[in-house]
Amino acid sequence: MECEKRKRKYCVALYIRYVAAFFLVFFFSRLLQLWHSVESSFPNDLIIQSLSHLPPNITTHNEKAERNIIFVHVGKAAGETIKNILKAGCLARTARRRQEKCLARLPDSRLSELVSAYFHCFDVPRLKKLKPTSFLFNVRHPVDRALSWYGYIHPDHCKHMATPACKAKWQLKNEDTWVHRFFDCFPTAEEWFLPKTSHCRAIAQQAWKGSLDYREVPLAAHMIANYQHYVNNTIHVLPDSEILVVRTTDLWHDLKALDEWLGGTGRFGRGIEGTAVTHGSHRYANPVLNGTTMFAACCALLPELSVYRDLLAKAANLDQITKDLEREDAVKHCGSESWEELWESCSQLHSS
Ligand SMILES: *[C@@H]1O[C@H](CO)[C@@H](O)[C@H](O)[C@H]1NC(C)=O
Ligand SMILES: *[C@@H]1O[C@H](CO)[C@@H](O)[C@H](O)[C@H]1NC(C)=O
Ligand SMILES: *[C@@H]1O[C@H](CO)[C@@H](O)[C@H](O)[C@H]1NC(C)=O
């Protein structure tokens, strides 16, 4: 009995210990499980988070990745298209509806991120305040740019009210306007480069050189705001800044390559890439000039041609082979073999 009693006491104590041990083991195993699950999920989350915050791989592209770029929109050289893929370009649109539409369609890109300001015509940016590192120019052969301007304001191309061509058509009615005198002398672009009288020659030169006041002749704004004007207001003010260039003739190739070069993906989206935004210039093509007229046009725009050549030569984003080809193509387009030959022939033309 004693024993029985003792035994029972002993058994109960033993039983309690077993139960306690069981719970202890159970408790610790749960704790261990919990710890494992925490351990396995915790670092994963961290990795996912830090990956999504990784900066673009700038080392593969180039080291000077921190840039503050101003887009210099040279007129009649596909600038409208570029404007539409830049946030700064959209914001520069003054009509609110056009601005909203532009922002809604804006593709994400490294280029758009880095371009902080937009410069077009006479709205000269305050460089001291903006402190840009780089200027991005859109460039096109000066003769093609000039022909595009001529077509853009030609009264025969008036289709929609308020376009420059219609404004020109309206101004033709008034003999006292520059536009009247201009189209009186030059009903075709060929005649503009081969003026027959000294009176017409003087008017032709005003357009070639852009030596007019844009407030008096707003229709000539794109000839007044020429390469020299844009360079004067950018690189000449900040000579140490970097020059970036996209060519109108290779627009999407250059934009994609530039975006990649800056550390981006080079993708602007299917509905955007390859498109062109114009003020209606797609409705008429530049005339094809014969050799004589083309040469005369190159001589007329020779100072512009050399600024254009220098911009291409200094472009940080173009490779040397491309630059050499462009340098050659620019004079071949004029019918010359070399820059020296072109200078020489033009000086003979001017002195004759
Ligand atoms: C980043 O650049 C380095 C150095 O060129 C390269 O080895 C690495 O693969 C690149 N990483 C990514 C994610 O592109
Ligand atoms: C550019 O600057 C030069 C020198 O300051 C000046 O002679 C020239 O008229 C300017 N040209 C334009 C188009 O602004
Ligand atoms: C080239 O075009 C101009 C202007 O249209 C014309 O006067 C000239 O005769 C043409 N020259 C040649 C060689 O065809």
For the question of whether the overall pTM of this predicted structure is more than 0.75, the answer is yes
Strand-pairing partners, residue 245, are 137
Residue 10 inside a domain? The answer is no
Cα 189 to ligand 3 centre (Å): 12
Pocket test for ligand 2, best of 72, 119, 230, 232 (most atoms within 8 A of CB): 232
Q: Which two tokens stand for residue 278?
A: 């114009």
Higher-pLDDT residue of 240 and 34 is 240
pLDDT class for 52, splitting at 50, 70, 90?
A: very low
Q: Which one of 52, 57, 62 would you pick to mutate in the ligand 1 pocket, going by the greatest count of ligand atoms within 8 A of its CB? A: 57
- CB of 306 closer than 6 angstroms to any ligand 2 atom: no
> What residues are in contact with ligand 3 under a 6 Å CB criterion?
190, 194, 290, 292-293
**Within 13 Å and on the Cβ side, how many CA atoms surround 215?**
1
What is the number of the ligand closest to the CA of 224? Answer: 2
The answer to whether 210 and 225 have CB atoms below 8 angstroms apart is: yes
Q: What share of the chain is helix, strand, coil (3-state, %, to 5)?
A: 60, 5, 35
Instruction: Kindly give the distance from the C-alpha atom of residue 293 to the centroid of ligand 3, in angstroms, as a whole number.
Output: 7
Tell me the DSSP string of 212-258: S-TTT-GGGHHHHS-HHHHHHTTTTTSTTSEEEEEEGGGHHHHHHHH
What whole-number distance in Å separates Cα of residue 49 and Cα of residue 68? 28
**CA-CA distance, 211 to 54, in Å (whole number)?**
51
Instruction: Measure the CA–CA gap between 171 and 224, rounded to whole angstroms.
Output: 19
Index of the ligand 2 atom closest to the CA of residue 232 = 1
- Asked if residue 70 has pLDDT above 50, the reply is yes
Residues of 55-82 as b/e, b for ≥16 C-beta within 10 angstroms? eeeeeeeeeeeebebbbbbbbbbbbbbb
Domains held by the chain: number:
1
Whether 38 maps to a domain, the answer reads: no
What pLDDT shows up at residue 226? 98
Judged against a pLDDT cut of 60, whether residue 264 lies above it is answered with: yes
Q: Of all atoms in ligand 3, which is nearest to the CA of residue 290?
A: 1
Residue 294 covered by a domain: yes
Residue range(s) defining the domain that contains residue 219: 62-351
| Ligand 1 atom, smallest distance to 57 CA | 1
Tell me the average pLDDT across 88-111.
Answer: 96
User: 315 in a domain, yes or no?
Assistant: yes
Backbone angles phi, psi at 215, to 5 degrees: -75, -30
The pLDDT tens digits for 170-201 are 999 999 999 999 999 999 999 999 999 999 99
* Residue 186 included in any domain: yes
Q: How far is the CA of 299 from the centre of ligand 1 (A)?
A: 49
CB 302 within 8 A of CB 330: no
Return d(Cα 208, Cα 200) in angstroms, integer.
12
- Selection from 13-22, 23-32, 161-170 with the highest mean pLDDT: 161-170
- The ligand whose atoms approach the alpha carbon of 56 most closely is 1
Percentage of residues in the chain having pLDDT higher than 90? 74
Range 311-320 average pLDDT? 95
Query: Which comes out higher in pLDDT, residue 352 or 152?
Result: 152
CATH number at residue 302: 3.40.50
Task: Provide the pLDDT confidence category of residue 279 given band limits of 50, 70 and 90.
Answer: low
Which listed ligand is nearest to 191 at the C-alpha?
Answer: 3
3-state SS, residue 276: coil
What pLDDT does 14 receive?
66
- In a domain? residue 209: yes
By alpha-carbon position, which residue is closest to atom 3 of ligand 1?
60
